[in-house]
Each structure stands twice: as structure tokens, then as C-alpha cells.
């Protein structure tokens, strides 16, 4: 699994949660909430989908690591690799 794979996983989850968002121009180093119309419930949905689809638990005090696509990839890559 690569960083790009993890970014695709996150974007796929966002596409399911917010189907009207245009994800084609998402910048990997900019906070997702600054680029997309995601509210706190959408963010919690992302966390819940990570748990449901990939068995990855993200503790509340670590949500900050899911701010951008780059930070998501850095945080989730070792967790997802350990599950593979």
C-alpha cells in the first residue's frame, strides 16, 4: 500500500459521504475542511467509515492527523499496512 492508495481510500469515503463535492481539485497539503464543505458530522462519518470498512480505529485525540490528504496518508498508512 502506498501514500496514493491511502489518499484514494480517503477520497472514496468522502465521495460516498458528500457526493456533490468536486474532489478532482483537492490539494493534498491543504486542510480538507478548508477545501470542501465538510461539517463535523461528515468528519465523524469519515472516521466511522475507516473503522467499518478498514477496521482502523482513530481515537478522538488523534483526529487532528486527518486534517489534509497528506496528513491522512501519513497517519493511516502504517495502520492500514498492519491490517493487510
DSSP 74: H
The rounded mean pLDDT for the chain is 94
- 16-57 confidence digits (pLDDT tens): 999 999 999 999 999 999 999 999 999 999 999 999 999 999
Cell 464543505 appears where? 37
pLDDT bucket at 84, cuts 50 / 70 / 90: confident
CA 78/CA 9 separation, integer angstroms: 14
Show the CA angle centred on residue 37, arms to residues 78 and 65, nearest 5°: 25
As its CATH architecture, domain 3-83 has Orthogonal Bundle (1.10)
This prediction has a pTM of 0.93
State yes or no: pLDDT of 67 exceeds 80: yes
Domain ranges in the chain are 3-83
Q: Measuring CA to CA, which residue among 28, 1, 23, 3 is closest to residue 13?
A: 23
Please list the helix, strand and coil fractions of the chain in percent, rounded to the nearest 5, in that order. 65, 0, 35
Amino acid at each position: 500500500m502506498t501514500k496514493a492508495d491511502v489518499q484514494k481510500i480517503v477520497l472514496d469515503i468522502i465521495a460516498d459521504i458528500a457526493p456533490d463535492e468536486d474532489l478532482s481539485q483537492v490539494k493534498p497539503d491543504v486542510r480538507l475542511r478548508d477545501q470542501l464543505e465538510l461539517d463535523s458530522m461528515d468528519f465523524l462519518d469519515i472516521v466511522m467509515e475507516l473503522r467499518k470498512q478498514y477496521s482502523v480505529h482513530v481515537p478522538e485525540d488523534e483526529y487532528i492527523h486527518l486534517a489534509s490528504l497528506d496528513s491522512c496518508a501519513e497517519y493511516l498508512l502504517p495502520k492500514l499496512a498492519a491490517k493487510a
